[in-house]
């Protein structure tokens, strides 16, 4: 199973999502390949934002190896599931789908947790550390559902 996490810059939310999923998949011995990308080119080649790395480290997860890249149309062929952090990311990704049926691979990550009050993971870039903690909490909830699904249905 190949899963791609997508946000705008690929330095805050999506590398955190990749880190959470990678950590949980390893813990459960699941054969999940993870990656992340941004819809923009703003931070291509950069390591995650230091606040994202610090937040993840507080929770025992190292994401310092990750580097930002831009989402490309071919990702629709390379990944089974593409999880967007917000509605804007989802619209931008779907606009690049090579075929309409491939667009269905892209979904909002919080659709995994329909009972959650928020549909989008808020962009923490212009805020404080508490924003990154909120992102971590939401991603942990969503990835736990994903891991449970993968353990049940493969």
Q: Which residues are catalytic?
A: 7, 13, 123
Q: Of these, 3, 8, 106, 146, which contacts ligand 4NP (CB under 6 A)?
A: 8
Phi, psi angle pair for 111, to nearest 5°? -65, -15
> Would you say 80 and 1 are in contact if contact means Cβ atoms under 8 Å apart?
yes
- Between 4 and 8, CB nearer to ligand 4NP: 8
134 binds ligand 4NP (CB under 6 A): no
- Between 125 and 134, CB nearer to ligand 4NP: 125
The full DSSP string for 2-64 is EEEEEESSSSSHHHHHHHHHHHHHHHTT---EEEEEESSSTTTTPPPPHHHHHHHHHTT---T
Question: Smallest distance, Å, CB 51 to ligand 4NP?
Answer: 10
Tokens of 66: 């990750």
51 binds ligand 4NP (CB under 6 A): no
7 binds ligand 4NP (CB under 6 A): yes
- Between 8 and 147, CB nearer to ligand 4NP: 8
19 binds ligand 4NP (CB under 6 A): no
Measured distance CA(83)–CA(32) in Å, rounded: 14
Rounded (10°) angle between helices 129-153 and 50-58: 60
Q: What is the binding site for ligand 4NP (CB under 6 A)?
A: 7-13, 38, 42-43, 123, 125
């Amino acid at each position: 199973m190949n899963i791609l996490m997508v946000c705008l810059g690929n330095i805050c939310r999506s590398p955190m999502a990749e880190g959470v999923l990678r950590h949980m998949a390893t813990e459960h011995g699941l054969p999940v390949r993870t990656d992340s990308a941004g819809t923009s080119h703003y931070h291509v080649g950069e390591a995650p934002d230091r606040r994202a790395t610090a937040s993840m480290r507080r929770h025992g997860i190292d994401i310092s190896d990750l580097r930002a890249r831009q989402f490309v149309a071919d990702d629709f062929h390379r990944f089974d599931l593409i999880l967007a952090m917000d509605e804007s990311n989802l619209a931008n990704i779907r606009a690049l789908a090579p075929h309409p049926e491939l667009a269905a691979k892209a979904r909002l990550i919080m659709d995994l947790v329909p009972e959650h009050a928020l549909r989008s993971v808020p962009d923490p870039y212009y805020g404080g550390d508490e924003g990154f903690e909120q992102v971590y909490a939401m991603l942990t909830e969503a990835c736990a559902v994903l891991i449970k699904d993968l353990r049940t249905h493969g």
